[in-house]
Chains A and B, each alone.
Chain A
Amino acid sequence: MGAFALLLVAVVGVPAVQVGYVVLVEAMLGRLGPVPQRVLRPWLWLAPALLFLGAFLIYPAAGTIWLSVLGPRSDRFVGLENYLFALTNTDMRIAFRNNLLWLTAFTTVTVGLGLAMAVLADRVRYESVVKTVMFLPMAVSFVAAGVIWKFVYEFRPAGAPQIGLANALLVRVIPGFEPVAWLVHPVANNLALIMVAVWVWVGFCLVILSAALKAIPSEILEAARVDGASEWRLFWTVIVPMLGPTITVVATTMVIFSLKAFDIVYVMTNGNFNTEVIANRMYKEMFTFRDFGRAGAIAVILFAATIPVMAANIRWFRRQEALR
């Protein structure tokens, strides 16, 4: 019953309030003269959105910058102490190292594999099946993806039946292969986590790059072929340069994701065995250690790292739009 009432509020009440707002606004404006109407109308249609953005996005973001120069309970000024901690602490250094690994490995593999699959699948008749299969993980939460892959990485000591796909396969294919505890192994574990993110995001790269690939006029490709360019050369001298802007957009999106990676690490290792990342570290400072100063400083560092990439991204979108 409680759940039903809730659902009613959610499905009927919320939209009703929203529609009610503009109806009320217009009824009010109707009583005014044409000049105040014209002046007030845009602001009243914008007001709810601006209120939300101000109260829950822009003002809090400024607040976090202020928190980052205060102590754990935000009751005293500590200057740049939190930043000093964030940049020198051992766990944070591991997190920085791992995020750098995420940034390079994740971005390279998603964009590279996405591009390769876009070009290869373009030549087979079952292209749409391939694209759908690789795109489907986008619909799945990182929590569910974490479960799926934790099961793939399941480890049993040598001799015991391996129920994890990765070890079972390798033990069978490579004679004398010792099962690996993928999420504990110091080199493999970070890559194992990155693989999960790759599994989720490659479809995104594939779909965008494939659309851009199909937009290349076939005359250009044919002309290059007639001129005797091999497919391999065609790829590097025609396709890659022509997809340049799209590759840049896709790559920056991947870079931003890699900087903010959180869910997969939280679910699969919670940063243990040297798999810590910045966003998970921020969550720990915030909830486990209740140090709002340090958590704030880490958030600001994360923000500072994403600004140049995001700014570049928005600029690219704008430029693309201008070309449309």
Chain B
Amino acid sequence: MSTSRPAAARSWTAWDRLITTAGRIPLHAVVLAVTALWLTPALGLIVSAFRPSRLVTISGWWNAAMPPFALTLENFHQVLTTYNLGRSFLNSLAITVPATVIPVLLGAYAAYAFAWMRFPGRDALFALVVGALVIPLQMTLIPVLRLFASAGLVGTFPAAWLAHTAYGLPLAIYLLRNFIGSLPRDLLESAHLDGAGPLTVFFRLILPLSIPAVASLAIFQFLWVWNDLLVALVFVGGTPSVAPLTVTVSNLVNSLGGNWQLLTAAALVSMLLPLAVFVALQQYFVRGILAGAVKG
């Protein structure tokens, strides 16, 4: 068996190589076709956002590559002013920034306590926090809405901050505890011996060392809140002065119907910031995903 093997193996690998070489054409064809399928719908959105309305309704966007070459910025001008997208952009920002900062920092406090402080019931409490990941946010909507209504918070930014903080915390605590808990014990103990208090340890040592975990978590939360529709719809609503981009754009889908040049421009505006963040910080995002950053 062992004597005949090498020859057979060599002929097999040669045969395989031949097949693979011939087979590489279909391989490239499939990979490129799927990639093109993924890219084309987005390309249609980008192109249409720059085409004048008279052309969008009579010809497909792929005709933009043929004469008449007519591109315009008019669509963006219209959605930003007439359709309130400029204000919605700011609203999205005003909702997303605190709704990202609050849960990440509070999660880091809690993670620090869970990882490096001793107290009775610690493990059970941590299990409860992780267990909260299973609660779909639909379970909380009505009671929280009533709570906000009694506090006069419905239709305000703080309502979204509070809700998103709570929804983001289980994941934040889970991920950060795992990361902070894996920091070298010697380092923290020697800092302690040097007379550093918890504040110094946390802000000078733990937080800077946890930047990779904090960054991937922050990107997650940022994208999640920026792209969220349900929470915004329920707690913030569609009033122009507070409505974030997702709510405004989804309303435009109903009211603008077939005005594709405007709808695509509006959707493109809503995509710019998350895409920029995503492209710039993709490494952290991927690392977060691989560390189990999956939102329930």
Chain A contacts of B117 at CB under 8 A? 41-42, 45
Give the 9 A-B residue pairs with the shortest CB-CB distance, closest first: A56-B166, A141-B227, A139-B278, A63-B143, A60-B143, A49-B110, A310-B134, A60-B140, A147-B267
Q: A53-B170, A136-B278 are in contact. Are A303 and B38 (CB under 8 A)?
A: no
Known: A53-B166, A124-B27. A163 touches B59 (CB 8 A): yes
19 contacts between A and B (CB under 8 A): A3-B87, A26-B197, A42-B118, A49-B110, A55-B166, A56-B147, A57-B169, A58-B135, A117-B34, A141-B274, A143-B250, A147-B253, A154-B260, A163-B260, A165-B44, A165-B60, A263-B246, A266-B229, A282-B138
- Taking a contact as CB atoms under 8 Å apart, the answer to whether B142 and A148 are in contact is no
Cβ–Cβ < 8 Å partners of A313 in chain B: 294
A96 close to chain B: CB less than 8 A:
no
Q: Are A48 and B40 in contact (CB under 8 A)?
A: no
Instruction: Tell whether, in the assembled complex, residue A263 and residue B229 are in contact, meaning their CB atoms are under 8 Å apart.
Output: yes
- Does B202 lie at the interface of the complex (its beta carbon under 8 Å from any beta carbon of A)? yes
List of B residues within 8 angstroms of A63 by Cβ: 142-143
Q: A46-B110, A124-B28, A260-B138 are in contact. Are A141 and B226 (CB under 8 A)?
A: yes
Interface residues of B in 123-146 (CB under 8 A from A): 125, 129-136, 138-144
Query: Would A52 and B178 count as touching, CB distance under 8 A?
Result: no
Interface-lining segment among B66-74, B187-195, B208-216, B284-292: B284-292
Q: State whether B289 touches A52 (Cβ < 8 A).
A: no
In angstroms, Cα B34 to Cα A58, docked, is 43
B154 within 8 Å of A (CB atoms): no
B residues sitting closer than 8 Å to A (CB atoms) are 8-9, 12-13, 16, 20, 24, 27-28, 30-31, 34-35, 38-42, 44-45, 48, 56-62, 87, 90, 93-94, 97-98, 101-103, 105-107, 109-110, 112-114, 117-119, 122, 125, 129-136, 138-144, 147, 157, 161-163, 165-167, 169-170, 173, 178, 197-199, 202, 223, 226-230, 233-234, 245-246, 249-250, 253, 258, 260, 263-264, 266-268, 270-271, 274-275, 277-279, 282, 285-286, 289-290, 292, 294, 296
Question: How many whole Å from A16's CB to the nearest CB in chain B?
Answer: 11
Within 8 A of B (CB), among A278-322: 279, 282-283, 286-287, 292, 295-296, 298-300, 302-303, 306-307, 310-311, 313-314, 317, 320-321
Q: When chains A and B are docked, how far (Å) is the Cα of A132 from the Cα of B125?
A: 39
Once A163-B59, A267-B253 are accepted as A-B contacts, the answer to whether A225 and B16 lie under 8 Å apart by CB is: yes
Indicate whether A23 reaches chain B with its CB closer than 8 angstroms: yes
- With contact pairs A46-B110, A147-B264, A225-B16 given, residues A208 and B289 touching in the complex (Cβ less than 8 Å): yes
User: Which of these, B38, B103, B105, contacts A137 with CB under 8 Å?
Assistant: B38
Given A6-B157, A147-B253, decide whether A26 and B140 contact each other with a Cβ distance below 8 A. no
Distance A147 CA – B62 CA, assembled complex (angstroms): 17
- Closest approach, in angstroms, between the C-beta of A310 and any C-beta of chain B? 4
Closest to A50 in B: B110
A59 CA / B48 CA spacing, docked (Å): 47
Residue of B nearest to A14 (CB): B98
The reply to whether B13 and A148 form a contact with Cβ atoms under 8 Å apart is: no
Within 8 A of B (CB), among A218-275: 225-228, 230-231, 253, 256, 260, 262-263, 266-268
Chain B: minimal CB distance from A163 (Å): 5
**A11, B117: Cα distance in complex, Å:** 30
| Nearest CB in chain B: distance from A321 CB, A | 7
Contact check, B166 vs A230: say whether CB atoms are below 8 A apart.
no
- Cα distance A226–B16 when bound, in Å? 10
| Contacts known (A142-B229, A151-B260); A133 close to B38, Cβ less than 8 A | yes
A64 & B60 in contact (Cβ 8 Å cutoff): no
A residues contacting the other copy or chain, number (CB 8 A): 112
Q: Which residues of A contact B271 (CB under 8 A)?
A: 139-141, 144
Interface residue? A106 (CB, 8 A): no
Residues A139 and B119 in contact in the complex (CB < 8 Å), given A23-B199, A299-B139: no
CA gap between A22 and B129 in the complex, in Å: 21
A300:B9 contact, CB within 8 angstroms:
no
Q: For residue B38, which residues in chain A have a CB less than 8 angstroms away from its CB?
A: 133-134, 137, 199, 202
Residues of A within 8 A of B170 (CB): 53, 57
What is the CB-to-nearest-CB distance from B45 to chain A, in angstroms, rounded to a whole number? 5
Interface: A18 (CB within 8 A): yes
How far apart are A212's CB and chain B's nearest CB, in angstroms?
Answer: 9
CA distance A283 to B24 in the complex (A): 49
- Residue numbers in B under 8 Å from A146 (CB-CB): 250, 253
Contact with B along A149-160 (1 / 0, CB 8 A): 111101000000
Q: Looking at B40, B136, B270, which has the most chain A CB atoms within 10 Å of its CB?
A: B136
Q: Is the CB–CB distance between B119 and A43 below 8 Å?
A: yes
- CB within 8 Å for A295 and B142 given contacts A139-B278, A147-B264, A225-B13: yes
Shortest CB–CB separation between residue B75 and chain A, in angstroms? 13
CB-based nearest B residue for A196: B41
A168 touches B16 (CB 8 A): no
Partner of A6 from the list B34, B62, B94, B138 (CB cut-off 8 Å) is B94
Contacts A136-B275, A147-B45 given; indicate if A57 touches B140 (C-beta within 8 A).
yes
CB distance from A10 to the nearest CB of B (A): 5
CB contacts (< 8 Å) of B230 on chain A: these are 262-263, 279, 283
Which of B12, B130, B142, B271 has the most chain A CB within a 10 Å cutoff?
B142
Bound complex: CA A306 to CA B31 (Å): 34
Q: How far is the CA of A283 from the CA of B170 in the complex (A)?
A: 24
Instruction: Out of A64, A139, A267, name the residue touching B142 (CB < 8 Å).
Output: A64
